[in-house]
Chain A
Amino acid sequence: MPLHRTAARRAAGPLLRLPPLILLAAFVPATTLAQVEPPASATEPPAAATEPPAAATEPPAAATEPPAAATEGTATTAAVAGDSGDDLSDLIGPELAAELRTDEETITGQPSGNPAYLGSGAGGAGTATGAGELGPSNLMNPALSLVATFGAAYFTDDRHVPRSGPVPDSTGVHFLEAELGLEAAVDPYFYLKGFFALGADDFETEEVFAETLRLPGGLKFRAGQFLTAFGRSNPTHAHVWEFIDAPLTRERFFSGEGLRSPGLEASWLTPLPFYLKLVAAASMADVPAPGSTPDEATFGKDRDYDFLYSARLESFIPLSDTWSLVLGASAVTGPSGQGAGDRSDVFGGDAFLRYKPTSGDDHFEFKLTAEGDFRRRQFPGNRLTDWAAYLEASFRLAQQWRVALRGDADEGDLTRGDTLTGPARDLGEERGALSVTFFPTEFSLLRLQGNLSHPHGDAWDGPEWVGEFYLEAMFALGAHGAHPF
């Protein structure tokens, strides 16, 4: 018996403990008998259910129905369970009743002699294959997936802004990564997900976390290593993006890999009639650095027990059946990794507008994403601020084609001073991107992307404009990954 039972289920306790078929057998005689006058048994299903013979021996309520029907309805247990105890047949005709009964056997695996009419809803036609007589069965294996991403790139100049994460860093053909995913329910209480990035010569755990399934009051906890719920881009995996590369908000502040570290997250789906979710997390401040030098990192660990604290508020506004709007606000704070108790804070706001028609055959969809983040970092005797933002529009023009445009920028006041490792790099950038994606199915895509990047600042000695051209191919195996909204 599961530990969890609602009050309603407790009330129905005696019913639920019965095999479903018996439950239905109890229902069936009541149906016929109640044609004219509901018998007592119809109002007391538990009693009737626990004592089928009693129900079956109820006196006939009336015999105004065709004699045959009345006889069947008043039959004994044998008739209830037998092939003539066909109570719905008055209503649906004997042929259909017989048909329902016959293929009941194929569904429930139960002898069709008992006219349960498939109402149990329990189980399926579980075919016992692969039941590992010589070892563990594979029937409980988790859902597996593998998403392989390849890219080719051409840069108009070898001096281009370095990116992090699974994105080509030089002209040529690249194996970017294969993301291995495993997920399944652990038990009735927890669901475990793991995502591992297999690179050309490295292995990386992207995320592994357990989440609760049955906490009351809209509460949910996640524990493990997970992408921090900050903005729209950070919690997503690269293969759901409209572009091969991350927007500059993520790239610049959190690295192309995203902000992630071991921790605990609580989220609360507020009991309001609309969607409002609050997320708060504490996780270790030991996070991957976005750039090539430590001074690029937003956060860093000064002491073993340094934590990042993050919070997010997310609201969903269904403007209509076809238009949706998501608004979010996020904040994360933690040690800047520069010692002396210096801290970094990042604040962000995001909006996502989506149009998806619920009729018609042209598959047109439209998505608009905007995100802006502001960062403040303390250094010994110094404070630096900068910001980054992007605006992205995506159009699904046909069943297998999407076109997306993105403009992003990061700018900031980075010139004022020294960090522990030297002068902070003064580098800003504006960038425009256009991608055309052909996806034969949900499981594969080919993408052509062009970026025009305009880096600037004292730390930049490359050309004023850099063109970046990418070809991306992505293939997904296995479990149908659910699409994030």
Chain B
Amino acid sequence: MSRMLAALSVASSLSFPASAGATVKVVTTIPDFAQLAREVGGDRVTTVSFVSPTQDPHFVDARPSFAVDLADADLLIYAGAELEAGWLPPLLRTAGNAGIMPGETGHLNVATVVPLKDTPPGAVDRSQGDVHPLGNPHTWIDPRNGLRIAIAITSRLKALDPDGTDAYETGLRDFARRLGDKMKEWKDLLAPYAGTKVVVYHKSWIYFLEWAGLVEAGTIEPLPGVPAADSDLTALADRLSGNGVRLVIGESYYPSDSLGFVAEQLGATELTLPAMTGGATGCDTYIDLIDHDVHAVVDALQ
């Protein structure tokens, strides 16, 4: 048996040519990770991302063509914490690519390189809705996490393609410098609004809100993943009226009439924000995305 496995391992190592001279193929679930990989890797990487930036990342079809991309990928980057649990695992098994299996250098689970929030203190079950038992997976929308993810990507790219070490470090430095400059700018813009209360549709903004100094006063979904009925909307509006909520934030794939209703009841501003790179015009890069969202929030609060 062990001899057979050894033979297989030799065969598999032969079938994956060294990436020297070639580009590193990076496959990601959400587009932000692909864009960060391009920031770091420049033209040493090619990227493919599965989730459309205007699509709910919880519910993605496991299109068989994704398995084709995974089959010859050098690096897989995904959000983790069960965000993609409904569709990514069978694709990974179909692809059968040893280099991107869990535990390998080519397997980057973002939830292991950023501090997760909302981690349930004890056991959970689905009576609490579609909770993520490992914590909230919507991590990338905090620019500090963007930097952490870029650093992690750099370390993986260096290990997979040692010849590109200089290029990757340069790419990371350049990205970190631009992001750092922007973060100072954003902080100044947001400073006057610290403590402002907002309502969100789904609990997908906690990383952004905490970084931006805003406070989540409630969610429109009564429980994670459970759509709000009219009675839920009214109850939420009753509970929060007079609470000083100024923004109602949701992604484009959540019902805008619910956002609008709650905003109107609370005298707040409805704000549909992209949560992924490419999710709106002018959000073609990760930095542009955060920039767009910060300015949208600041404009709405002015």
Q: Which residue of A lies closest to B168 (CB)?
A: A27
In the complex the two chains form, what is the Cα distance from A218 to B109 in whole Å?
23
Complex Cα spacing A118 to B155, Å? 10
Taking a contact as CB atoms under 8 Å apart, the answer to whether B93 and A191 are in contact is yes
Assess the B144–A100 pair: CB atoms within 8 A.
yes
Q: How far is the CB of A428 from chain B (nearest CB, A)?
A: 35
Bound CA–CA A412/B104 (angstroms): 54
Among residues of B, the one whose C-beta sits closest to the C-beta of A32 is B173
- Is A341 engaged at the interface, CB distance under 8 Å to the other chain? no
Chain B residues contacting A441 (CB-CB under 8 Å) are 126, 129-130, 225-226
Chain B 140-165 residues near chain A, CB threshold 8 A: 144, 147-148, 151-152, 154-156, 158-162, 165
The answer to whether B98 has its CB under 8 Å from any CB of chain A is yes
Assess whether B54 is in contact with A358, with CB atoms less than 8 Å apart. yes
Partner of B255, one of A213, A356, A361, A440: A361
Known: A211-B93, A213-B93, A214-B12. A356 touches B113 (CB 8 A): no
Give A1-55 interface residues, CB cut-off 8 Å to B: 2-12, 15-16, 20, 23-24, 27, 30-31, 34-35, 38, 42-43, 45-46
Nearest-neighbor residue (CB-CB) of A120 within chain B: B155
CB-CB nearest in chain B for A93 = B180
Contacts of A485 in B (CB 8 A): 61-64
The answer to whether A6 and B96 have CB atoms under 8 Å apart is: no
Let me know if B233 is at the binding interface, CB within 8 A.
no
Contacts of B161 in A (CB 8 A): 8
Q: Contacting A11 at CB < 8 Å: which of B20, B116, B154?
A: B20
CA distance A20 to B183 in the complex (A): 28
With A215-B8, A217-B15, A400-B227 as known contacts, state yes or no: A6 contacts B99, CB within 8 Å: yes
Complex partner residue of A399 from B68, B82, B97, B227, CB under 8 angstroms: B227
Tell me if B265 counts as interface (CB < 8 A to partner A). no
**A96 CB–B CB distance under 8 Å:** yes
Contact with A along B16-54 (1 / 0, CB 8 A): 111110000000000000000000000000000000101
Cβ of B169 within 8 Å of any chain A Cβ, yes or no, is yes
A6 touches B162 (CB 8 A): no
Shortest distance from the beta carbon of B55 to any chain A beta carbon, whole Å: 4
CA distance A271 to B154 in the complex (A): 29
Count of chain A residues with a beta carbon within 8 Å of a chain B beta carbon:
88
Q: Contact at A11–B18, with CB atoms within 8 Å? A: yes
Selected interface stretch from B84-92, B191-199, B241-249, B289-297: B84-92
* Chain B residues whose CB sits within 8 angstroms of the CB of A202 once the complex forms: none
A251 to chain B, nearest CB (A): 26
In the complex, the answer to whether B256 meets A361 with C-beta atoms within 8 Å is: yes
Q: Distance in Å from the Cβ of B240 to the closest Cβ of chain A? A: 22
Interface string of A86-118 (1 = CB under 8 A from B): 001001110010011001001100000000011
Assembly CA distance A370 to B96 (angstroms): 29
Chain A residues near B239 (CB-CB < 8 A): none
Q: Indicate whether B275 reaches chain A with its CB closer than 8 angstroms.
A: no
Q: Are B112 and A45 in contact (CB under 8 A)?
A: no
Which residues of the partner chain B approach A480 to less than 8 Å between Cβ atoms? 82, 85-86
Minimum CB–CB distance from B165 to chain A (whole Å) comes to 5
Asked whether A124 is an interface residue with its Cβ less than 8 Å from the other chain, the reply is: yes
A275 and B184 in contact, given A118-B151, A359-B54 (Cβ under 8 angstroms): no
| Interchain CB contact under 8 A, A123 and B112 | yes
Contact A4 B226 (CB under 8 A): no
B115 interface contact, C-beta 8 A: yes
State A284–B13 Cα separation when bound (angstroms).
35
Do residues A358 and B52 form an inter-chain contact, with CB atoms below 8 A? yes
Q: Which residue of the partner chain, among A6, A117, A269, contacts B68 with CB atoms under 8 Å?
A: A269
B63 and A7 form a contact (CB under 8 A): no
State the CA gap A20–B113 with chains docked (Å): 12
- Which residues in A have their C-beta under 8 angstroms from that of B179? 92
A271 to B252, CA, bound (A): 37
Q: Are B105 and A12 in contact (CB under 8 A)?
A: yes
Residues of A within 8 Å of B302, CB to CB, are none
Partner of B96 from the list A9, A42, A212 (CB cut-off 8 Å) is: A212
- In the A-B complex, the 4 residue pairs with the smallest Cβ-Cβ separation, listed nearest first, are A358-B52, A359-B54, A92-B180, A7-B18
Query: Which residues from chain B sit less than 8 Å from chain A, CB to CB?
Result: 5-6, 8-9, 11-20, 52, 54-55, 61-65, 67-68, 71-72, 74, 82, 85-87, 89-90, 93-99, 101, 103-105, 108-109, 111-116, 126, 129-130, 144, 147-148, 151-152, 154-156, 158-162, 165-166, 169-170, 172-173, 176-177, 179-180, 183-184, 225-227, 252-256
Name 19 A/B residue pairs within 8 A (Cβ), A-sorted. Answer: A3-B6, A6-B98, A7-B16, A8-B20, A8-B99, A15-B159, A27-B155, A91-B176, A92-B180, A118-B151, A119-B155, A121-B108, A121-B156, A125-B116, A214-B97, A215-B8, A218-B71, A359-B252, A482-B85
